[in-house]
Structure 1
Amino acid sequence: MWTPGRMSNAKSWLGLGMSLYFWGLMDLMTTVLSGTPTPPGKLEALLPDKPQSHLRIKRSWVWNQFFVLEEYTGTDPLYVGKLHSDMDRGDGSIKYILSGEGAGVVFTIDDTTGDIHAIQRLDREERAQYTLRAQALDRRTGRPMEPESEFIIKIQDINDNEPKFLDGPYVATVPEMSPVGTSVIQVTATDADDPTYGNSARVVYSILQGQPYFSVDSKTGVIRTALMNMDREAKEYYEVIIQAKDMGGQLGGLAGTTTVNITLSDVNDNPPRFPQKHYQMSVLESAPVSSTVGRVFAKDLDEGINAEMKYTIVDGDGADAFDINTDPNFQVGIITVKKPLSFESKKSYTLKVEGANPHLEMRFLNLGPFQDTTTVHISVEDVDEPPIFEPGFYFVEVPEDVAIGTTIQIISAKDPDVTNNSIRYSIDRSSDPGRFFYVDITTGALMTARPLDREEFSWHNITVLAMEMNNPSQVGSVSVTIKVLDVNDNAPEFPRFYEAFVCENAKAGQLIQTVSAVDQDDPHNGQHFHYSLAPEAANNPNFTVRDNQDNTARILTRRSGFGQQEQSVFYLPILIADSGQPVLSSTGTLTIQVCSCDDDGQVLSCSPEAYMLPVSLSRGALIAILACIFVLLVLRSLDQSCSGFWSLSALTKNSFLQFPECPYDGIGSP
């Protein structure tokens, strides 16, 4: 900083201004002697006695470029320099005028002497130079004595700005265990002083805090590691303070500082270690598969990916009964049940578990194996288990004609616990709503309780329960599938009513109908039906039956020349027999009408008796048909009167019938 002690007042710079003035004259002399063209006016000032006939003389300003130091803090105006015209004879007839940048505000001029002063504190970092214009006027007439000319006042720098770290504070990261000299970060300080003048802006870096761990290059500001084997696990964060000093670091220079926060990033330089070499765990024998038994943890001083762990079972007698998985969030090993356990079969297991880093760095392999092992002892605890059936599923086949009370299967269960409690058996009635079966409470004998009918239920799926007597809450169950086997207990029969016709002009051996049969039974080798005339019609002279040997039969005429007047309808009884053991049979009747036909065998007419209802219709069907006929006749006779409609409604009691065109009008009974 410029202080009053360095400059007490503006007069102390008078010598400097005069020096600049005479320096300008010497420069001009050098120019003349060297043969360089001389600015107008200056030659006249230097060589006043030179004959004018040999030189072109023009009056001109006499001055040079001005320099003034910044940061002057004195109380008097600061002398900058002097303007002088070679036409000025010192009698005060010349008036000097100053204009341009800062004229009258920053700089003033004595209009008589031409002395220039600075009246404000100057700062080179804000403005390095000012361009002004000067003019000399005849004080009496006000006319210009010289052409207006331009000149420059340059602000000369002093060391008044300390270096600054514009990007600080800094944050940097460097891997732990880095070699000495590893570059961490580069810091940069800037100095607002003039770098072209002296050493005011020449910065030198040094480290104030952070040794002996780090160093800084004095010229470039590059921070490097300075200590071998820096360990993140021992110290992770460092606060380094860097100083930048100008004047090339010399005494009296100004300085600035910044902070660099350096973090050591992790590398995989620590193997995992189990804090326990032995773990003791227990699990109930009833624990389901995949349930958790316990956790193991191998501690790793590293972090992130370098602390990731993989757990495996490498030895022990429980490798087939248990599994281990790694929790990626907490890096613990979770031991789970791999298969069902039994206290009665095996009461304890031993596992050897390994924890290892899956991500390794080659340069740290010489530190030893990056894995560790521990031993896990697992005890299986007994629980009161429900009875277990052996086998776990039953399939039974039974004929449908089995006698009631027949034992079809012995169901067996046992208590798996050491106590071996007594068992009581029962049937889950929701699985046997028809109560076709029952089971002996003590022996487990499964028996029939009702007749079985394969044609009604060919399969039964029941559930048998086994309960411990001493602990009724412990109940086991088993599924029993019962297939009802077929026996030949159904005779074959026609699937529908068969009716055929024969032409009056039919010939002997003419086919009039093909019949087939059905049987509800399901023999192993399939159905085989046999057809023949019933014994009472074995000698029928009109028709015969031919078995096609494919479960169908043909009905053929045995003669020709049928007549409606002789007999209009024939009833032919046909015997149908199956091939079961024993053989079952039934008789079906084929109704044959006699009709008149054309030469092509097309029916022209049949006897009215052919329209008679078959005798096999039930009484209810006949009544329903007669009722329909009666209703149709009544409707036709009502002459479409609404009163008749309501009478009919009352008659048939169909009060739910609604006819919009016949609203109830009080006539009859609605």
Structure 2
Amino acid sequence: QAVCKRRIMQCLIIIMYTSKAVSGQIHYSIPEEMQKGSFVGNIAKDLGVNGKQLSDHGLRIVMSKGMTQYFALNVNSGHLQIVERIDREKICKELEKCMLKLQVLVENKLKLYSVEVEITDINDNAPQFLSKEWKIEIPETATPTDRFLLPRAQDPDLGINSVQNYELTGSNHFSLEVQRGENGARQAELVLEKPLDREEQSVYDLILTATDGGVPRKTGTLNIRVNVTDINDNAPVFSQAIYKVSLKENAPIGMSVLQVKASDSDEGSNAEITYTFSDIAEKGEQKFTLDPKDGKITLLENIDFENRKKYVMIIQASDGGGLVAHCKVEIEVLDENDNAPDVILTSISNPIPEDLEPGAVIALIKVHDRDSGENGEVSCHLQEFVPFQIVSSSDDYFKLLTDGSLDRERVPEYNITIIAMDKGTPPLSTHKTISIMISDINDNPPAFEKPSFTAYILENNPAGVSVFHVKASDPDLDRNAQITYSFLSTSIEDLPLSSYISINSETGTIYSQRSFDYEQLREFQIEVKVQDGGSPPLSSSATVTVCILDRNDNSPQILYPSQTPEGSSVFEMVPRSAESGYLVTKVVAVDADSGHNSWLSFHLLQATEPSLFTIGSHTGEIQTARTLLERDAVKQKLVVMVKDNGQPPLSATVTVNLVFAESFQEALPEINSQPNDSESPLDIQFYLVLALALVSFLFLVTVILTIMMKLRRSRNPTFLQCFIPDPHSKTGAIFPPNYEDGTLPYSYQICLSSESRRNEFAFLQPIFPSLCQNTNYNRILRNSFG
């Protein structure tokens, strides 16, 4: 029944003391020694958080490092419950008001709430004396009303639950008087009621009972033995009623703390003083020792300010006659800076996006120092120069904030070292390193290596061959760095771009979709777009110029002399008086190819009289190699081959018909006459013999005609028209190799007969240099006639 009443009382106390502070700090009050799992308070309700959303809010308790966790939060109901036995006397010792503080963190808001749980005392400790028996000597000369101080019972409970009264039983010679001290503590004194007679009774056995005021009451007893001694009329006297001393917590073991001193006016054994602890807490008796002879107090163990700040003890001085005196000793423990700050990472957001605005909260950090005063005041700063800052939040909490722009591509991770330093002398510090990862956002467009590219492909290529490969990069990650390639252009020369070229969207490789012809299309431009997979996507573009390179796939075309359907040219007249080096005609040819493939050379394949003519291998000019002899045929037939410089070379031939005559009327019969293929070799021999017979006669005639022709100084026949390029032209020339005479294949003199001049020539326009002409193939300007 007593246990049930006790539990009912505890529940009533919980209901009565549980409350919420007006200032916003949550306050609960519970009695000590409650069972594990007992209800303390509804945290969720007091914070205004719906219990169904506790998991979303991330509600949890933040405990300091090294502290016992007495409470837990039920994540389902939001109730604060007891998870560890709570002993008020163990936690708060002599403190009258025992408070347990904890922090409740709402993680989704990174906000802390302070919660105080006041632990109220219950009567769970009975009064107790330090020893079971106490001996006191009283001289028989003691008079009634003399008082003798008795040991004080100790009860760690507070208030009504502590010692409230003392009772004395065993003899009517003595009574008990209880005095209340300044701090409310009760001190029992033994009062002599009747005179003593040692011879009548030398020993009195008394029982002192200490009673507390709890429900139910608890008691403790002390057996007192009173020895009646012979007369000793002078009691010891201390030099001070109260001794006070300060002692640093790092004082070495064995150090002399202080020395009490008492004197006695008696002589002999009645003046021999012995010092003992009359009243000292158990912890104090372990820390200090008292020399019974000289009253010197010595340190036995290390003392710690954080565990106990003050030691109070009563020292008794007894003389040899049994008279005693008492003094009070107060030892104050001074704090030393012997505890470095504790740095506890309460909550952190990791990773953080690189576009996070300055001032955003990254982490919540608790810093605690067990020292007091300036030794316990802590400041925090960051060791590295990073775009973060740490600021004080409340109580012992600090916030880690962003303090600048972040760029994952430049710094993907930060190792932030937080230095917590107290204000002690010398100061103590703690380093805490936090790794912050930076997450990627799509803030970088993909980029090509350069804004423009030039690709080359030989004409007559097979469809589907790789033309070029463009490469772009994106410093972002994952989908933000997944790039695809496409064309921005839609057409080339009014034809769909897809009929010319295609691109692999993943690799950036460009493929031809048709076979290209240099003579039809020499270059074209396309614009390639690259786009990443971010949201929204970013893109950039580059220009690719595709140059078609020439192959030797066109044979030379002979423009002059024009040919008949049978393959022969019209007749050209040559004066009989033409000297050696006379320009007979010029073979003009062009090649649709370019570069080396269009460099032409001229060769005389066949001639009626090979020794009579020469041809310029690079100019196509046909000249006489000597003067015409009488034995030479009037009609001459020349077969000229024009060959280009390609690999393999291509060629074309033309037949040139020449007639030696001084006038058109003289040449006309020869032109109209058809060669007689039926003439026999005998007829040819006949003509040769006849020619030899007439040599003597014709020699003289030839000499006379030669002299006359020189006198006429006629260099050019009136019936021939010559086209000579302007020697002062500023047009530059590019000379192909092995052109010893320095004459371009397109620098020429053309002499046309009256009949030939009627022909019209289609002159090719010059082609000016473009981007594609800046290659290893030199572009030579086309022929232009004028």
Q: TM-score, normalised by structure 1?
A: 0.44
Q: TM-score, normalised by structure 2?
A: 0.38
